[in-house]
Structure 1
Amino acid sequence: MELNVDIFSVLDKGWALLTAGDSMAHFNTMTVSWGMMGTFWGKPAATVYVRDSRYTLEFMKDSQYFTLTMFDEDKKPDLGILGSKSGRDGNKIAETSLHAKKLEHGVGFEEAKVTLILKKIYMQRMDMNAMPKEILDQIYPNGDDHNMFIGEVVDIIRR
Structure 2
Amino acid sequence: MRLKAVNPKDLSLETLRLFTGRTPLLTAGDRTACNTMTIGWGGLGELWQKPVCTVYVRQSRYTFQFMESHDYFTVSVLPESHRDVLLLCGTKSGRDTDKISSCGLTVCYGAGNAPFFDEAELVLVCRKLYTQDMNQDCVIDHGAAAPFYKEGDWHRMYIGEIVEAYHA
Q: What TM-score comes out, normalization by structure 2 length? A: 0.87
2:126 partner SS: strand
How far apart, in 2, do the equivalents of 1:103 and 1:151 lie? 14
The answer for the alignment partner of 1:7 in structure 2 is 16
- 1 or 2, which has the higher strand percentage? 1
Alignment of 1:3-152 (within 5 A): 3-4=11-12, 5=14, 7-8=16-17, 10-23=18-31, 25-105=32-112, 106-131=114-139, 132-152=141-161
The answer for the alignment partner of 2:4 in structure 1 is none
Q: Which amino acid aligns with 1:95?
A: S
How far apart, in 1, do the equivalents of 2:108 and 2:16 lie? 26
1:87 partner SS: coil
Q: What TM-score comes out, normalization by structure 1 length? A: 0.92
Structure 1 residue ranges without an equivalent (≥5): none
Aligned residues of 2:132 and 2:156 also touching (Cα < 8 A): yes
How far apart, in 1, do the equivalents of 2:166 and 2:16 lie? 17
How far apart, in 1, do the equivalents of 2:152 and 2:161 lie? 29
Q: Flag the structure with more relative contact order, 1 or 2, with Cα contacts below 8 A and sequence separation at least 6.
A: 2
Aligned residues of 1:50 and 1:147 also touching (Cα < 8 A): yes
How far apart, in 2, do the equivalents of 1:67 and 1:155 lie? 9
RMSD: 1.4
Structure 2 residue ranges without an equivalent (≥5): 1-6
Aligned residues of 2:111 and 2:164 also touching (Cα < 8 A): no
Q: Which amino acid aligns with 2:26?
A: L
Query: What is the number of equivalent residue pairs in this alignment?
Result: 157
Give the fraction of aligned pairs with identical amino acids, expressed as a percent: 38
How far apart, in 2, do the equivalents of 1:144 and 1:113 lie? 32
- 1:76-97 per-position Cα deviation (integer Å, ceiling 9, x unaligned): 2211111111101121222214
- 1:17-75 per-position Cα deviation (integer Å, ceiling 9, x unaligned): 1111122x311111111100000111100100001111001100111111111111111
Q: Which amino acid aligns with 2:77?
A: M
